[in-house]
Structure 1
Amino acid sequence: MRFVLASASPARLAVLRAAGIDASVMVSGVDEDAVAATLTDPGPAELVTALASAKAAAVAETVAGGESDSVVVGCDSMLSIGGEMVGKPGTAEVARKRWAAMAGGSGDLLTGHAVTRVEGGRRVREATGTQSTRVRFVAPDPDELEAYLGTGEPLQVAGAFTLDGLGGWFVEGIDGDPSSVIGISLPLTRRLLAEVGVRVVDLWRP
């Protein structure tokens, strides 16, 4: 069975590879703002799960045209900080403001997951879930923060930080699942795979 990751995230792919999964990568191209606009006052978990599900569904439609049976996994992460859900900052200015709110405090990193099973050219099952992990941040000094922003790393990741990269220097600790903070929760993905009738051990590379 083919494992397809519906994400361009190198961090998610690295987590899977380290955990024994040789995933194929197919980017969904989903318009996240358009998906969010279809929801009426969504809670944080509902929002990230809806986005993950839309990504998995879009890729599953493409995968369904092939001959091999597959599981498609979509994910979406956001940081809840001060009651606000934030994704990728995109610019250094936005990331600087995010860090002003995060420094010395904590936030909840939520990752929505959707697993779609494709058999015989059609989608047959789907399972979804959300993992939330509390992240505690240190307060980088101004020079450290500017150096970090200058690397470009925090501009393209949810919450303007990474756990497995340069941002790890500024994370004091986490309460919960570290793989989810990186982008894909291994324990939750294992449970969702089981819900669609797939054992994760059968997906491990030989």
Structure 2
Amino acid sequence: MRFVLASASPARLSVLRSAGVDPLVKVSGVDEDAVTASLTDPAPAELVTALAQAKAEAVARELEEPDAVVVGCDSMLLKADGEIVGKPGTPEVAAKRWTQNAGTSAELLTGHAIIVVRGGEIADRAADHLSTTVRFGSPSEAEVDAYVATGEPLHVAGGFTLEGFGGWFVEGVDGDPSSVLGISLPLTRKLLSNLGLSITDLWNRPSTTS
């Protein structure tokens, strides 16, 4: 059975490869704005889970692999004021968010969806979400400008990373760090278990830890 990652995220791919899974990568092409608009006043956790499900469903329905596990993920940052935000998209928005987040904590919500394909047909599904607290540092204005200029924060949920330039400005994480990287290994394992599958059966090479 093939492990399929319904995401173009390099961080998610890196996490999986380091954990012994070399997935087939298939990008869903889902219109996230359309999915969001189709929901009626969703709670933040419901929103990220629905987006993850939409991505997994889209890939599963176009998959050529007859037997596969398709994993979809979506992450958004729930700020202390209740606002939920995704990718900044522009340098101006990224800089503004870092100015607002400096010295505060926020919850990174990551929705996970797994679809099992057997004999070319969707056979089973499971979905859930995880919340992890991120404690932001207080970078100077010059540091924020330099970070935004790298382009990194524009295209990641919440406008930050742990594994890249952004890691210099994150004081700590309370919860599952792999979730902050985009895919929670513990939650993925639990969802697979709920579907009668073992993650160890999907390992296809040794861990690449150094």
Structures share a fold, TM > 0.5? yes
Alignment of 1:45-194 (within 5 A): 45-63=45-63, 66-81=64-79, 82-194=81-193
Alignment of 1:20-39 (within 5 A): 20-39=20-39
Identity %: 67
The Cα shift of 1:68 comes to 3.0
Gaps of 5+ in 2: 206-210
Gaps of 5+ in 1: none
The Cα shift of 1:100 comes to 1.5
1:52 maps to amino acid: A
After the TM superposition, which of the residue ranges 191-200 and 19-28 deviates more from structure 2? 191-200
CA distance in 2, matches of 1:30, 1:67: 20
Offset from partner CA, 1:95-144 (integer Å, 9 cap, x none): 01111110000100000000000001110100001010000001100111
Offset from partner CA, 1:134-176 (integer Å, 9 cap, x none): 0000110011111000000000000000011110100001110
Offset from partner CA, 1:159-205 (integer Å, 9 cap, x none): 00001111010000111000000000000000111122210000111
Does the 8 A contact of 1:116 with 1:196 survive in 2? no
1:28 maps to amino acid: S
| Structure 1 residue ranges (4+ consecutive) displaced by more than 3 angstroms after TM superposition | none
CA distance in 2, matches of 1:118, 1:195: 15
1:37 maps to amino acid: A
State the number of aligned residues.
204
CA distance in 2, matches of 1:85, 1:31: 18
CA distance in 1, matches of 2:204, 2:57: 25
For the structure 1 residues 116 and 170, does the alpha-carbon distance in structure 2 shift closer, same or farther, using more than 3 Å as the test?
Answer: same
